[in-house]
């Protein structure tokens, strides 16, 4: 429509730009970023770069669409007199980039500049709070909220606090806030509570939330139901899970993908793999989570080959696997003894699916090779990795060298490990493993650490270690 407007020579105004820029940030299309940048240029052409709404739309756009933090900072700095909306969009962007501390700093700066935060600002700030360092700041925000809210808590702010405490496993704090929200609790409140209770290992308590919801007339929706099904998945009996399945059908929520995904998980955890499979088949457009849940369910029930076959179905159908998919696949290959298949999948994850192996994938991959006794390949992998290997990776690999009596690889791995981690205690621990292997092989070994100027020798003739 914007193009039609241009062709019709109708000059766009600030409202036009605010609307069309917002469309770019919420479209979910990769072209959104490109289109938004072009519109940014048009803003200057029409001399609207000082309009507050346009500036705010741009801040929000760069916050949501650009991977570059500088884009966001520039857009915010270009705003002449930032108002509460500008600051909130900016804080939201900082949080999205994982800059918790900066988000709190911006909040302080905002208040210092005389702009009063609103409930949107506080919710944004609390959601962005992920590190335990920031939890301390968040507790101060709680105090600030209590001090400034004249009557009762805003629902969104209250829910953000409940969620915050739940995320940090502080269920007492979450419950206290929820209690203070007596008349305004909604499905958001209960979803956060249920998720938190699941995380601290209290699935029965999580399921009790359903009773509260019924009593208070709060509707169970797909989000809360997903959490309840997740709780039911960990119970010893399948009954509550099946009741929730019935419940989801009665509520008309059984075709929601998140509910189906939780059902797949729930049936898998109770070893009802046929049910899990039929739920997957019932989904019109399975998400990556749906596939992951089934592949994982099959693998953890020992059906490694079938798990890999479902992975094939997934990719042949054009679904995009993610980092979790490959973790599950590697795990299945390791425990199913399907090493060559695992190597192929590991090599194809970046090449064919654009998923870069993370540290955890390398750990799984090394574990797979180590278990299978393919230690030379494992040693090559640990050397060629684009990330610095963990100490635990070396420890595990050395343990496999010992297990498989591969002293040659073991010595090389130990030497490399010592170059990276030259601390003496580590050195001793590793060497005792290698010397153990040397002893089994009835040969001596001498390893020297350049950095710590330490060395250990194991002398076969005297069975002594120096």
Q: Identify the residue among 71, 100, 102, 221 touching DNA (CB under 7 A).
A: 221
Smallest gap from Cβ 389 to DNA, in A, equals: 16
Residue 199: which H helix or E strand, with range? helix 187-199
* 198 in contact with DNA (CB under 7 A): yes
How many chain residues interact with DNA (CB under 7 A)? 68
Minimum distance from residue 402 beta carbon to DNA (Å): 21
| Contact characters 87-116, DNA, x per CB under 7 A | -xx--x------------------------
CB of 154 to DNA, least distance (A): 6
- Sheet order of strands, 464-465 included: 445-449, 454-459, 464-465
User: What does the DSSP assignment read for 262-281?
Assistant: HHHHHHHHTT-HHHHHHHHH
Check residue 118 for interaction with DNA (CB under 7 A).
yes
CA distance 8 to 35: 20
Tell me which residue has tokens 């240029």. 41
Query: Exposed, middle or buried by CB within 10 Å (0-12, 13-18, 19+), for 196?
Result: buried
Binding map of DNA across residues 60-89, x = CB under 7 A, - = no contact: x----------------------xxxx-xx
Q: Which is nearer to DNA, 27 or 156 (CB)?
A: 156
Q: Segment near DNA (CB under 7 A), from 171-179, 236-244, 253-261, 455-463? A: 253-261
Residues 104, 120, 267, 458: which binds DNA (CB under 7 A)? 120
Query: Could you tell me which stretch among 121-129, 136-144, 349-357, 427-435 binds DNA (CB under 7 A)?
Result: 121-129
Non-local (6+) Cβ contacts of 265 within 8 A are 229, 230, 233, 276, 293, 297
Q: Which two tokens stand for residue 267?
A: 């049936």
Residues of 245-275 as b/e, b for ≥16 C-beta within 10 angstroms? bebbeeeebbebbbbbbbbbbbbbbbebbeb
Residue 320: Cβ within 10 Å count: 13
> First and final CA of the chain: distance in angstroms?
80
Rounded to 5 degrees, φ, ψ at 450 are: -65, -45
Identify the residue among 65, 137, 224, 248 touching DNA (CB under 7 A).
224
Q: How far is the CB of 356 from DNA (least distance, A)?
A: 14
Where along the sequence are the contacts to DNA (CB under 7 A)? 18-19, 22, 52-53, 56-57, 60, 83-86, 88-89, 92, 118-121, 123-124, 127, 154-156, 159-160, 163, 186-189, 191-192, 195, 198, 221-224, 226-227, 229-230, 233, 256-259, 261-262, 265, 287-289, 292-293, 296, 299-300, 322-325, 327-328, 331, 360
């Amino acid at each position: 429509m914007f193009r039609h407007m241009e062709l019709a020579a109708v000059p766009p105004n600030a409202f036009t730009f605010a609307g069309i820029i917002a469309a770019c940030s919420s479209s979910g299309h990769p072209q959104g970023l490109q289109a938004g940048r072009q519109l940014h240029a048009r803003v200057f052409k029409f001399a609207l770069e000082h309009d507050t709404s346009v500036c705010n739309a741009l801040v929000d756009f760069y916050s949501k669409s650009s991977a570059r933090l500088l884009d966001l900072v520039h857009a915010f700095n270009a705003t002449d007199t930032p108002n509460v909306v500008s600051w909130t969009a900016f804080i939201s962007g900082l949080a999205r980039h994982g800059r918790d501390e900066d988000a709190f700093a911006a909040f302080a700066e905002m208040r210092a500049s005389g702009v009063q935060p609103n409930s949107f600002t506080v919710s944004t700030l609390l959601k962005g709070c992920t590190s335990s360092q920031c939890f301390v700041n968040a507790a101060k925000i709680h105090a600030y909220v209590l001090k400034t809210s004249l009557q009762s808590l805003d629902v969104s702010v209250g829910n953000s606090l409940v969620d915050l405490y739940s995320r940090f496993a502080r269920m007492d704090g979450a419950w206290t806030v929820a209690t203070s929200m007596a008349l305004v609790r909604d499905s958001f409140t209960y979803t956060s509570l249920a998720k938190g209770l699941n995380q601290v290992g209290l699935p029965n308590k999580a399921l009790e939330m359903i009773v509260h919801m019924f009593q208070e007339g709060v509707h169970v929706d797909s989000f809360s139901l997903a959490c309840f099904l997740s709780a039911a998945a960990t119970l010893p009996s399948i009954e509550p899970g099946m009741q929730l399945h019935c419940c989801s059908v009665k509520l008309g929520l059984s075709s929601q993908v998140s509910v189906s995904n939780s059902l797949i998980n729930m049936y898998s955890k109770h070893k009802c793999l046929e049910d899990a499979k039929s739920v997957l088949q019932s989904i019109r457009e399975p998400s990556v989570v749906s596939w992951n849940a089934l592949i994982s369910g099959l693998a953890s029930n020992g059906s490694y080959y079938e798990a890999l076959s479902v992975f094939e179905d997934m990719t042949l159908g054009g679904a995009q696997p993610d980092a979790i998919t490959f973790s599950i696949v590697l795990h299945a290959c390791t425990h199913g003894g399907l090493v060559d298949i695992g190597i192929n999948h590991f090599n194809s994850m970046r090449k064919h699916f654009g998923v870069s192996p993370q540290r955890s994938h390398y750990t799984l991959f090394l574990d797979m090779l180590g278990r299978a006794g393919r230690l030379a390949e494992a040693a090559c992998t640990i050397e060629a990795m684009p990330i610095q290997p963990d100490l635990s990776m070396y420890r595990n690999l050395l343990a496999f060298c010992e297990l498989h009596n591969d002293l040659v690889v073991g010595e090389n791995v130990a030497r490399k490990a010592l170059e990276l981690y030259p601390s003496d205690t580590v050195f001793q621990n590793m060497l005792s493993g290698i010397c153990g292997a040397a002893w089994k092989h009835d040969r001596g070994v001498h390893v020297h650490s350049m950095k710590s100027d330490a060395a250990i020798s194991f002398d076969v003739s005297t069975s002594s270690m120096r």
